[in-house]
Structure 1
């Protein structure tokens, strides 16, 4: 039985309250795949805590439990982390973007979903849903975070398409219509630059029945389970992690070198060594994209590759350093996201590294 199938057989997350939020956020950092989003995730989590108050909660529902013809919009934050820190969101930008997208299409929303469940966007859907008085869908379009819109897929094969509604923290808004997701990505990036460095966006307005078939179900529940398995105080227990989340620890050792590329667009490598003499290598760009032990590949995107300390703390591309002892953990996605069609969007070549030759 796959990890996804095992998860679906167990009770999932039904209410996102303050207690669940801490676990979901922790799991979201894991599902960020090494992207350096810790401070920004904390900022969004604090905002969500403030919005919820001591006793508030957002209902969490699987897409399959909604009426098949109900409309669901996906939301996310996009842009410069520095700009996000200097001009924090109020919490209303995401819901305003969702409203604008629904109004443009002339439909009424029944629920909201996060576009991707990793990093700071793990709570984006819940923030919008709370303001709109709607439930948040237990699912997303990726099962993790990816760096670009082109990696958000329907059915593991089809990139999402426009229109995309943008909202900035100053009340400015824009609607992007585009023929391809590549063009849409460029226009969204231009919108970020012109609207203060970051934007809230709403996209992929779909019927719940289509989302139940083509989306990644159970993403919030998975983040919640990962977060619970890593909740402090904890000494990282690989067996517990596997049992709770379907993840696995593929190596434990000390970082001996991090050879960052001088060119931001080029991949770079992290070397690790275990006390037994075994060695590992992790290839990275904005995220960890591949891992090998003794030259043998053990994880490659679209797998989620995460570095964890013995205390269960996530180490990302911004916080890793030589001398730190970590475990390399691997989490698989929905099997559809490993098809040849999917790998053209989220495989090693698509994300800027070679195949297994990257480990030589």
Structure 2
């Protein structure tokens, strides 16, 4: 059961999950949850001085400065209010993950935050599997399986997988508990039919075997779990692969038959055409929050629009909004976090830094093809990763 301080965080992610299915546009539900949690935190901390916490001095004010400048630039160029709201919300989502959630759970109580994320992972895994089972019973094809039945929150499962692996390594006496949760995350990913996330899980497993395989195999409980998991995979995987929907997903990769790849090419080409038609300055500083790019003549998106505000490749979206200069600043921020990880991995907090580095890596990977750095819920996890890769996070950590 989640601790009392964690229920609001659990509710936040469940509201987002529901918003993805029942609220249009879904970002309205996200924004409601963000505001509710932020106001609750403000009321809870109304007599404290948490706003003067050291970690707010650099990241917080730098982000605020960028946000203020970008909003001013967007208003000056008369961007659509809904597009500005969407872009500002992504920055707001980062701050929710970086500051609000950790402060709500308890500043420095990283272990409780990790356990809370593990609990959320159980809920999302079960929800994903249930909807996948419903899709199977209804005879849904691969398109409707993912687009109608399975919630978009299944994309969070690789993050929860990393969290549970870290908790298993941190508390080996509870190997059975977190072993089951790891199995749930993997089962949910397979049930979602997400090719990207399945590949991410395989990559994570391969790296773990190469880096900490000896540690895993030295634990009898972990070894038993791995053997049981291997037997289950050996028995069920052939049957899963034979399913029609799985064959549809596999076949869509062959001979450029996947329409999503063609759409990504159209997006990228539209961005390059957009910059080639303008002056040099926009390529350097971008077009600001709320900016859109025109699609080629005769091409419309799924909502019938001839312009789009985001690309599947988040790095190109950053170039659109903030230019090459913005992309360079983002790269420098990532380098800074890598340097923090290199120090923390030799500290008592190494397992938390390991978690943050993996979550960040997954978000960055999703940013290439799945809007990982622009879709609000994934940006929350990016903020959480940055929190885990910050020195100030552990200054009051008594839960070593």
Q: TM-score, normalised by structure 2?
A: 0.24
- Structure number with the higher strand fraction is 1
TM-score where L is the length of structure 1: 0.26
Higher relative contact order (CA 8 A, sep 6+): 2
Q: Which of the pair has more CA radius of gyration?
A: 2
User: Which is richer in helix?
Assistant: 2
